[in-house]
Amino acid sequence: MYDPTVARLTYRALLGRRRALILGALPLLLIVIAVVVRALTGADDQTAVNVLGGFALATMVPIIGVIAGTGAIGPEIDDGSVVYLLSKPLKRPTIILTKLIVAIAVTMVFSAVPTLIAGLILNGNGQQIAVAYTVAALVASIAYAALFLLLGTVSRHAVVFGLVYALVWEALFGSLVPGARTLSIQQWSLAVAHKVAGGDLVTSDVGLPTATVLLVLVTVLATWYAGQKLRALTLAGEE
């Protein structure tokens, strides 16, 4: 179910040229902010939670997930070169699964690793905060990558819809309507982080069992449906 050639092509499409720049700029910014905050305020648990929760997990991870998830398949469908891939004797679910693994790996490397580094800079992993948010970023990477990869196969405007979900649904509605938080990957991953950190610093609106079930469900369903979409893909022209 994993094809090294497809994986290599996807890596090159994702990290080629300018894409790698924007993917690398975001984590760099997070680390710079962490250094500045540490220099300004010293080690403080609440500050670390604010930066990691408010900036890393709420903003950075979804955006990197959108870029990696949709970028793994979107441009290929867009310029029509996906037909060369589809005409090879590979199962469509295999293609999707390979691309998903690559997207997850890229999202994890560019979001979880800097989160860990930023956490260590901010308060030296006091109260397990750095590790908790790293685990949350890892878990969120899987779900975001699967969801946005599905969007990439469903719509030609996948990036817009992905951003609308990440910014409008999770950030705006999540802060206004408490119910919207139950259906948010960010909150599910925070539930996992809550379990790791243990204390009251990292909180989530969703219980751990619900969060785990929903995370697995979303990932599996999105991957399965993306494979189904790829089996009956229609190529359309520009607009």
Partner 1 sequence: MAVEQPMSAPVTRPGDQTRIHNIGYRTYDGPRLGRAYARRSLYSQSLRGAYGLGRSVKSKVLPMLLFVVMCVPAAIMVAVAVATKAKDLPVDYTRYAIIMQGVISLYVASQAPQSVSRDLRFKTVPLYFSRPIETADYVRAKYAALASAMFVLTAAPLLVLYVGALLAKLDFADQTKGFAQGLVSVALLSLLFAGIGLVIAAVTPRRGFGIAAVIAVLVISYGAVSTLQAIADAQNNTGAIPWIGLFSPVTLIDGVQTAFLGATSAAPGAVGPGTGEGVVYVLVLLGLIAVAYGLLLRRYKKVGL
- Interface positions with partner 1 (CB under 8 A): 18-19, 22, 26, 29, 33, 36-37, 40-41, 46-47, 50-51, 54-55, 58-60, 63, 66-67, 70-71, 74-75, 78, 156-160, 163-164, 167-168, 171-172, 238-239
Q: For the CB of residue 46, give the shortest distance to partner 1 in the complex, in Å.
A: 8
State the minimum distance, in angstroms, from the CB of residue 146 to partner 1.
18
Residue 159: CB minimum distance to partner 1, A: 4
- The answer to whether residues 145 and 103 touch, using CB atoms and an 8 Å cutoff, is yes
Q: Which is nearer to partner 1, 103 or 211 (CB)?
A: 103
- Rounded distance, CA 55 to CA 44, Å? 16
Q: Which is nearer to partner 1, 5 or 46 (CB)?
A: 46
CA distance 46 to 48: 5
Residues 236 and 239: their CA atoms lie apart, in Å, by 8
**CB contact at 8 A, 143 and 219:** yes
Q: For residues 77 and 139, which CB has a smaller minimum distance to partner 1 in the complex?
A: 77
C-beta of 14: minimal distance to partner 1 in Å?
Answer: 11
**Count of beta carbons in the 10 Å neighbourhood of residue 7:** 15
- Are 152 and 98 within 8 A, CB to CB? no
